[in-house]
Amino acid sequence: MNAVSSVTKSRRDLFGPAIAAAVVCTLVAAAIGIGGIVIARQVVSGLLLGAIYMTVAVAFTLTIGVLNFLNFTIPTMFMLTGMAAWGLLSSGYLAFASRGAWLVALLFGVAVAVVASLIVERFTFRYLKMRHGDATEHAIPLVSSLGFLMIFENLVILSMGSDSQRFAVPFKSDLHIAGLIIGAPQLASFVLAVAVVALLSFVLKRTKIGRALRTIAENPDTASLLGVDVGRVVPVVFILAGLLAGVAGALFTVNYGDVSPLMGDNVGTKAIAAMILGGIGSIWGAIAGGLVVGLAETLSIQFFGGDSVSMTVWGLVLVIMIVRPKGLFGGATIGKGKM
Amino acid sequence: MSGYLAGTTAILCINLIFAYGIFVTAASGQINLGGAGFQAIGGYATGWLTSEAQWPMGLSIVAAVAITALVGFLISFPVLRTRGVYMVLATFAFGEVVAGFLLHTDTFGGAMGMVVPFHIGLGILVLSALVVTLLTFYLMATRLGLTMRAINDDEDASVVMGVNVRAVQVAAFTIGGAFTGLSGALYALNFGFIEAQYFNSLLSIYVLLFVLIGGVQTAWGPLAGSLFFTLLPELFRVGGSWRYLIFGVVIVVMMMLRPEGIVTRSMIRRLSPRRLFARPALGSADAR
């Protein structure tokens, strides 16, 4: 491909997203202009919430993009992180870490999420590949992941109760920027979420494993002909998904200070909405979708009250699906290859 | 009949009709994860028509079924532009939109729910479940049912054989919508109260599991799945979280050992009385 065509191609690719971004920015600017500082605060908290949706949406979009698999255990990984961290913290084993205990607990939580994700891989993809040689036959992994969702969620309820628990984080410094109050943990988590996603984007684009993942997304059979060890690369997708969901869960726990066995459900559905909005299989789409959903949520609470959130978010999704079924950023970014 | 048994039977009947609604689409190779949305439309249509419009009960049920069939017909066109995982997501989004709409609309009681002024007894429920079951068996034996099976097995081959795939899939969504709407109407009339929170995505997930674990190859599947999931907890005599934990384990193990579901076509063929009593024909596949 010569330089000229690659330039025109990238221009064409950016056209739709640019319009979408412009529309969103105009709406936000108009809202701030009309509503003043109150709305500006809502916009900021919407973006901070959106960063969490974005990270979970990227986990969804990655598994669908590479494996063509809607992994319903991703919200469970999110929840497992928070609950495992709380469980370890409240058990008192972390006395040695004194003031850093919460951080150790959260890292432990993320590790639990990654291990759980690998367990799911072992009993869905690896098993089916061994037995049938084809893991996307019908809806098997989807149904298995629903089974795992029930297993993990109820294991947690049985071992730690179904109540919501307090997870205290020892810092409470707020930043005051031009009349906006931003909690330091929120800001830190926003930056961390963006950093994690940017890192993932880099890994997919520049590293050997990233190239292998993209090849599998294009066509698994061709990938293995070209020397990609598909059996070793597939677990990487699950590790990354567990890691992303785990990081999002840890950030959510720090931000809101609450964990519960059901904390993943709401975030999971919003992340799915974000993914559809942005375009399934597109990392940048998931990022934009996550931020849009976060904004839509806080702004619709502000303007129409608490009950209107799912109506606004899913109404937006429905409109997008009818007007532009491939989503804001969708396109042929990721293949429809079968495992 | 004790109250507990009656309650279980009522839920079983409603879930069975619901499951057949999802089965009809699944049998033609499309996964509908928005079942709760269709059921909610049927339930709320009945609730609104009986309480606000003061229609008689029978007419309301017919109207509710017609409305959901129409919704199924209309929604099939955007949904059928997608396939595979994308279709799962599209139908999931549909269910969420319906639930969100009902929760936010004051005409339908919003978050407060809606009281339904009529009540139907167990007899009608059982009768309806029976009729829907027999209808589905009949449907699967017709030419339409045959083409649905063909599309599920191999869509490209069906096109080559002259099947109008789009028409069959639209028909499946319409019939599925009608069945699901009927289950919603019966739910509303049996429980006397509906609220949007009941028709959540978890309900869609469970009913889809009934169908997929039961098996989509034959009309026995939803029957087996519904019975299996209703009777399993009775067998273990445990409640709450243990029940769902066991569900989860059973689902994962089932998908590993028997991914086609409990009842498969070859199993029906093996067990059919015609085969048991007849001498296998020379050269047929069964003459081993």
Q: Is residue B198 a contact partner of residue B95, using CB atoms and an 8 Å limit?
A: no
CATH (domain of A224)? 1.10.3470
Cross-chain CB nearest to B248 (options A147, A309, A336): A147
Domain count along chain B: 1
Sign of CA dihedral A13, A14, A15, A21: positive
Q: Are A50 and A292 in contact (CB under 8 A)?
A: yes
Which of A151, A304, A309 has the CB atom closest to B248's CB atom?
A151
Could you tell me if residue A20 is inside a domain?
Answer: yes
Q: Is B145 among the domain residues?
A: yes
- What chain B residue is nearest to A275 in terms of C-alpha separation? B89
Condensed to tens digits (0 to 9), the pLDDT of residues A250-300 reads 988 888 888 888 888 889 989 999 988 888 878 888 888 898 899 888 888
Cα distance from A304 to chain B (closest Cα, Å)?
10
Give me the percent of chain B exceeding a pLDDT of 90.
33
Nearest CA in chain B to A153: B245
Which chain B residues have a beta carbon less than 8 Å from that of A138? 259-260
Distance from the A70 Cα atom to the nearest Cα atom in chain B, whole angstroms: 6
In a domain, B260, yes or no: no
**Cβ-defined contact of B85 to A69 (cutoff 8 Å):** yes
CA dist B196 and B224 (Å) reads 28
Mean pLDDT of chain A: 79
Number of domains in chain A: 1
Is the CB of B78 less than 8 angstroms away from the CB of A325? yes
Give the minimum alpha-carbon distance from B147 to chain A in angstroms, rounded to a whole number: 18
B258 lies in some domain: no
Residue A330 lies inside a defined structural domain of this protein: no
CA distance B131 to chain A (A): 29
**Mean pLDDT computed over B74-95:** 84
* Contact check, Cβ <8 Å, B248/A69: no
Whether residue B141 lies inside any domain: the answer is yes
3-state SS assignment for residue A180: strand
A266 to chain B: nearest residue by CA?
Answer: B201
CB contact under 8 A, B94 and A318: yes
Alpha helical stretches, state H, chain B:
3-26, 35-51, 57-79, 85-104, 122-141, 143-153, 155-160, 165-191, 201-214, 220-236, 240-257, 265-271, 273-277
Task: Measure CB to CB from residue A154 to each of B78, B84, B245 and give the nearest one.
Answer: B245
Top mean pLDDT of A11-15, A170-174, A201-205, B184-188 is at B184-188
- Count A/B contacts: CB-CB distance under 8 Å: 123
Give the largest CA-CA distance in chain A: 62
Residue among A127, A307, A322 minimizing CB distance to B256? A127
**Higher pLDDT among residues B37 and A278, named by residue:** B37
Confidence of residue A172 (pLDDT cuts 50, 70, 90): low
For A216-234, the pLDDT digits (tens) are 887 777 888 888 888 888 8
Mean pLDDT score, A34-63:
84
Whether B251 sits inside 8 A of A150 (CB atoms) is yes
Higher pLDDT residue, B79 or A239?
A239
Residue A165 forms beta bridges with which residues?
Answer: A259
Percent of chain A exceeding pLDDT 90 equals 16
The answer to whether position B25 is within a domain reads yes
A322 and B78 in contact by Cβ < 8 A?
yes
Contact A142 B245 (CB under 8 A): no
- pLDDT reading at B199 higher than 60: yes
Instruction: Give the best residue of A143, A269, A313 to mutate against chain B (max B CB count within 10 A).
Output: A143
Structure tokens at B227: 């019975």
Q: What pTM, to 2 d.p., does this model score?
A: 0.84
Contact list, A272 vs chain B (CB under 8 Å): 89, 92
> In chain A, which residues have their Cβ closer than 8 Å to the Cβ of B245?
150-151, 154-155, 158
Cα–Cα distance for residue pair B72/A194, rounded to 1 Å: 40
Beta-strand relationship, A165-166 and A258-259: antiparallel
B217-263 pLDDT tens trace: 888 989 998 888 877 766 766 667 788 888 888 888 888 888 778 88
Q: How would residue B187 be classed by pLDDT, with cut points 50, 70 and 90?
A: very high
CB contact under 8 A, A151 and B86: no
**Structural domain for A187, as ranges:** 3-323
H-only helix segments in chain A: 3-35, 37-67, 74-91, 101-121, 127-132, 140-160, 184-206, 208-218, 220-225, 230-256, 263-278, 283-304, 309-323
Closest CA to A150 of B95, B213, B80, B262: B213
CA distance A47 to A269: 17
Is B34:B92 a contact under the CB 8 Å cutoff? yes
Cβ-in-10-Å burial (0-12, 13-18, 19+) of A35 comes to middle
Taking contacts as CB-CB distances below 8 angstroms, the residues of chain A near B213 are 143
Shortest CA gap A255–chain B (Å): 26
Q: Please answer yes or no on whether B97 and A315 come within 8 Å at the CB atom.
A: yes
User: The tokens 């904390």 sit on which residue?
Assistant: A263
- Residue B38 domain boundaries: 3-200
Q: Is A327 left (phi over 0), alpha (psi -120 to 50) or beta?
A: left
Question: pLDDT grade, residue B185 (50/70/90)?
Answer: very high
Q: What is the ipTM of this complex?
A: 0.81
> Is A318's CB within 8 Å of B252's CB?
no
In a domain, B177, yes or no: yes
Which pLDDT does position A19 carry in this prediction? Answer: 65
Chain-chain contact of B82 with A325 (C-beta, under 8 angstroms): yes
- pLDDT confidence band for B281 (50 / 70 / 90): low
| Cross-strand pairs, A175 | A182
How far is A144 from chain B, CA to nearest CA, in Å? 5
